[in-house]
Amino acid sequence: MLFAEVGDVVWQALIAGVVTIILAWMQQRTRAVVQATAKAAAAEVSEVKETLAETTKNQDGKLTAIHTLVNSNRGETLLIASVALDRVAQLTGHPKDVEAAVVARKLLQEHEAQQKIVDESKRKDGHVE
């Protein structure tokens, strides 16, 4: 018997060699699957990143437009309140009416000063409306 003469040590070495080859092959397959998965995930991340950048850019433009509109409306409202309260104070001469007119004028002036700073900053940045 040919196989009977082969010792246990030889069989163990042969089995170890075969197991090593099988493990190396499995490792190579696993590495290929992991690399393919990582490549697909990177592509998806890139797509999400581009979509997020585009959405953020669009939202920034919309938010700027909304802010400009709200700020403009606030300025107009403060102007109307200031003029109206000035006229009421002139007609009535009541101290509370005069005080309200002064407060309205002060709020309008503060708003106009802040708006002037924003407008100058936009001009410096090249944003012309």
Diameter over CA atoms, the chain: 128
Measure the CA angle with vertex 103, ends 121 and 115; round to 5°.
Answer: 10
Q: Tell me: pLDDT of 124 over 90.
A: no
- Token pair 């699957």 is at which residue? 33
Expressed as residue numbers, the domain containing 42 is 7-125
Question: Token pair for residue 76?
Answer: 């107009």
Q: What angle do CA 67, 71, 73 make, to 5 degrees?
A: 120
Has residue 107 been placed in a domain? yes
Let me know if residue 38 belongs to a domain. yes
Is 2 within the bounds of a domain?
A: no
Asked whether residue 55 is assigned to any structural domain, the reply reads yes
pLDDT tens for each residue of 8-32: 788 788 899 999 999 999 999 999 9
Q: In this structure, is residue 1 part of a structural domain?
A: no
- Six token digits for residue 58: 């669009």
Classify residue 97: in a domain, yes or no: yes
Is 119 domain-assigned? yes
Q: pTM of the predicted model, to two decimals?
A: 0.53
DSSP 4-66: GGS-HHHHHHHHHHHHHHHHHHHHHHHHHHHHHHHHHHHHHHHHHHHHHHHHHHHHHHHHHHH
| Rounded percentage of the chain residues whose pLDDT exceeds 70 | 92
Question: pLDDT, tens digit, for every residue of 36-83?
Answer: 999 999 999 999 999 998 888 888 888 888 888 888 899 999 999 999
CA dihedral sign of residues 89, 95, 97, 101: positive
The band of 5, judged by pLDDT with boundaries at 50, 70 and 90, is: low
Q: Is residue 34 part of a domain?
A: yes
Average pLDDT over residues 86-107: 95
3-state helix, strand, coil in the chain (%, to 5): 90, 0, 10
Number of domains in the chain: 1
The candidate with the shortest Cα–Cα distance to 100, out of 110, 89, 113, is: 89
What's the CA gap between 107 and 115, in Å, rounded? 12
